[in-house]
Amino acid sequence: MTHAQLSPRNIPDRLEGRGARLMKSWEALLIVVATVIFLGNSFASPYFLDPWNLSDATFNFTEKAMIAFAMALVIISGEIDLSVASIIALASTAMGYAVQFGFDTPALVAIGLGVGLVCGAVNGLLITGLGLPSIVVTIGTMSLFRGLSFIVLGDQAFTGYPESFAWFGQGYVWWVFSFEFALFVLLAVAYGVLLHKTNFGRAVYAIGNNQTAALFSGVRVGRVKFMLFLLTGLMAGLASICLTSRLGSTRPSIALGWELEVVTMVVLGGVNILGGSGTIPGVVLAALIMGMVTFGFGLLNVPGIVMSIFIGLLLISVIALPILWQRARRRLAH
Amino acid sequence: MMKILKSLMVTAAVAVALMASAAHAENKKIALVVKALGIGFFEAANKGAQEAAKELGDVEIIYTGPTSTTAEGQIEVINSLIAQKVDAIAVSANDTDALVPALKKAMDRGIKVISWDSGVAKEGRLMHLNPSSSPLIGNMIIKLAADNLPEGGDVAVLSASATATNQNTWIAEMKKVQGNYKGINVVATVYGDDLADKSYRETQGLIQSYPNLKAIIAPTSVGIVAAAQAVTDAGKIGQINVTGLGLPSEMAGHVKSGASKSFAIWNPIDLGYSATMIAYDIINGAEAKPGAELKMGRMGTVKLDDNNEGAMADPFVYDASNVEEFAKIF
């Protein structure tokens, strides 16, 4: 077996080809996993199947999932953004700073999103403008953005957010459906359409599969990538608004370590970490799975470290499975 | 596929087993939420909570916390505790403010919330249990020095930085009660800035400037270790006793060598025990309001101040008889 056989060279599309079948079975697999976890949780704890409890549980993943959608596109294009959690911290710090000057909710939202966009633009410019590797750039900006919030805040906290600001992280649209969950659903649809139904989405796949070929086919690689980092920054800003609103305060350690959880979510969702393939429905399922595992284990008071081990095992199995499956099929064919 | 299904089935089986063992009896469920799991100090607090549960009989302790000391992690834990409809949450918070919305929600749903060790802002809890109070600490540190000086003598203070609020308050409280300890003469206060090397040099300076120095009081865990080392290196063990506030794990060696006869710090076991007892008292209808006295079992009662805060007890004294045992904990 050679390396060439393993790496997919066709541009995967959900509707055709062998790659498509593989992807389909992957999502089918995730659905099975999600169902098993759901049923397992329902049997394991009498508290799981309660609308309000399930609603509370969605807060475990909605903010991370918002970023995961944009991150999925970035990873499919063959890049990565590790600065997202630090963008949350910086955007939150900026909003908290503005509160001290009496800015109201609409202004705070604008500031949160604006800081996200600016941070995304900084990443995008360094990566596409100077041609630096995204993993290096975003490791750098990861320290930079959070470092700035540490300089502003030190060991202090910003509090005193206006009452109306609390709605983003604590408000409900209808019955048990929180604003965050509604936003999650809305963004899932929007990113699904963007990735799977538009030229932009096709370009993302093309870049991830073969950047040079994409360039010679007339795809404006730099511009698409810049847009992707801008989008990730924007999503981090949005997540920052929700998280800050939910916590009602800002500390520089806010969302510490989230970048890895977001990447885990994306990879668990079946996005190839080397780029070129993956789907939004997969990421949605991964978000639900991670949320349910965290909450279900929480209900049983399983220590957090066991949850991390479980997520890690799940990740490795889900990634190893298609490869093993492929090998087995090839062996059978001969 | 088999692999995953298998692992999931095992998980589900384990989960069901856990569930079955947890379901019996109408016990009061008190959750002890700590900053992070796997920290000796909090494991010891859990030991105290279990002791309280045993004493009370109808209490089940849920000892839980996130894997790292983040507010977000604690909120996830609190959400799952709300879902389980626990009777009380006793939390040592990673963030004074960020936990407030989640804890408010818990209180809205009838859960009694208290904080201990590291507090939550007033609106997020019914009461806060401090391990001790500034007057108690101020009194304890001079008492530790005086207990070993029946004839009195010169003592000096090695503090953290000159601007450290905690230390300044404790030293001020110490000076208030100094008159109660006859013959104890505080000759100097120097500042080691909580740096090991500076604290060491300041101690050397004290030893040279005051030949009759009998004790050094260091109300800082960095300072006390550095002072003990400086006294050891100067060959003054037996002449100068180092005392103050320190961690058993760092001080065990100096207690053994005799450089420090005794020192103090809060006892995490008592803290977990008292938090559980208070939560139980509140579940059973005790009201947490300014001036109220809540029951803490063998630790007596705690009186709440205007902020609904209370101090558990004097700092706990560690000496040759118990320091080894606690050195394993924190």
CB contact under 8 A, B72 and A44: no
Pairing of strands B301-303, B293-295: antiparallel
DSSP run (H or E) holding A174: strand A172-174
CA distance A191 to chain B (A): 26
In 3D space, the residue among A16, A14, A2, A28 whose CA is nearest the CA of residue A330 turns out to be: A2
CATH superfamily membership of B134-265: Response regulator (3.40.50.2300)
pLDDT at residue number B20: 46
What is the pTM (predicted TM-score) of this model? 0.79
Q: What is the mean pLDDT of residues A129-155?
A: 94
CB contact under 8 A, A295 and B83: yes
CA distance B69 to chain A (A): 10
Q: Write out the E strands in chain B.
A: 28-33, 59-64, 88-91, 112-116, 127-130, 153-159, 184-191, 213-218, 241-244, 262-265, 293-295, 301-303, 309-311, 316-319
CB contact under 8 A, A57 and B79: yes
Instruction: Please report residues of A whose CB lies closer than 8 A to that of B75.
Output: 59, 246-247
Pairing of strands B153-159, B316-319: unpaired
- pLDDT averaged over every residue in chain A: 89
Half-sphere exposure of B134 (CA within 13 A, CB side): 12
Out of A15-24, A40-49, A92-101, the most confident range is A92-101
Q: ∠B250-B228-B241 over CA atoms, to 5°?
A: 120
In 3D space, the residue among B131, B71, B137, B141 whose CA is nearest the CA of residue B101 turns out to be: B71
C-alpha B303/C-alpha B312 separation (Å) is 9
* Domain definitions of chain B by residue range: 26-131+268-313, 134-265
pLDDT at residue number B24: 47
> Which of A85-94, A118-127, B62-71 is least confident?
B62-71
| DSSP assignment of A280-303 | HHHHHHHHHHHHHHHHHHHHTT--
Instruction: Please report residues of A whose CB lies closer than 8 A to that of B98.
Output: 157, 247-249, 251, 254
pLDDT at residue number A316: 85
Instruction: Please report residues of B whose CB lies closer than 8 A to that of A159.
Output: 97
* Fold of the A18-326 domain: ABC transporter involved in vitamin B12 uptake, BtuC (1.10.3470)
Task: Decide whether B26-131+268-313 matches B134-265 in CATH topology.
Answer: yes
pLDDT at residue number A17: 59
pLDDT tens for chain B, 330 residues long, are: 455 555 555 555 555 555 444 444 578 999 999 998 888 888 889 999 999 999 999 999 999 998 888 889 899 999 999 999 999 999 999 888 899 999 999 999 999 999 998 889 999 999 999 989 989 999 999 999 999 998 889 999 999 888 888 888 899 999 999 989 988 999 999 999 888 999 999 999 999 999 999 999 999 989 999 999 999 999 999 999 999 999 999 999 999 999 999 999 988 899 999 999 999 999 999 899 999 999 999 999 999 999 999 999 889 999 999 999 888 888
In a mutagenesis test of the A interface, which of B80, B89, B108, B123 is the best target, namely the one with the most A β-carbons within 10 Å?
B80
CB contact under 8 A, B68 and A257: yes
For residue B146, count other CB atoms closer than 10 A to its CB: 20
pLDDT at residue number B12: 56
C-alpha A163/C-alpha B83 separation (Å) is 25
Q: What is the pLDDT of residues A197-215, one digit of tens each?
A: 999 999 999 999 999 999 9
pLDDT at residue number A314: 82
Beta carbons of A109 and A262 less than 8 angstroms apart:
no
Whether the pLDDT of residue A222 is over 80: the answer is yes
Distant-in-sequence, close-in-space partners of B110: CB < 8 Å, separation ≥ 6: none
* Domain definitions of chain A by residue range: 18-326
How large is the C-alpha radius of gyration of chain B? 23
Q: Write out the E strands in B160-255.
A: 184-191, 213-218, 241-244
Whether the pLDDT of residue A4 is over 70: the answer is no
Q: What is the ipTM of this complex?
A: 0.79
Q: What percent of chain A has pLDDT over 70?
A: 92
Domain spanning B26-131+268-313, CATH architecture:
3-Layer(aba) Sandwich (3.40)
B 72-101: CB under 8 A from A? 72-73, 75-77, 79-80, 82-85, 95-98, 100-101
Half-sphere exposure of B171 (CA within 13 A, CB side): 24
CB contact under 8 A, B15 and A59: no
pLDDT at residue number A167: 92
Instruction: Please report residues of B whose CB lies closer than 8 A to that of A298.
Output: 76-77, 79-80, 83
Q: Across the interface, which of B16, B38, B80 has its CB nearest the CB of A299?
A: B80
B15, closest residue in chain A (CA to CA) = A44
Q: What is the pLDDT of residues A290-307, one digit of tens each?
A: 999 888 888 888 887 888
| DSSP assignment of A84-147 | HHHHHHHHHHHHHHHHHTT--HHHHHHHHHHHHHHHHHHHHIIIIIS---HHHHHHHHHHHHHH
Residues in chain B: 330
CB contact under 8 A, A47 and B85: yes
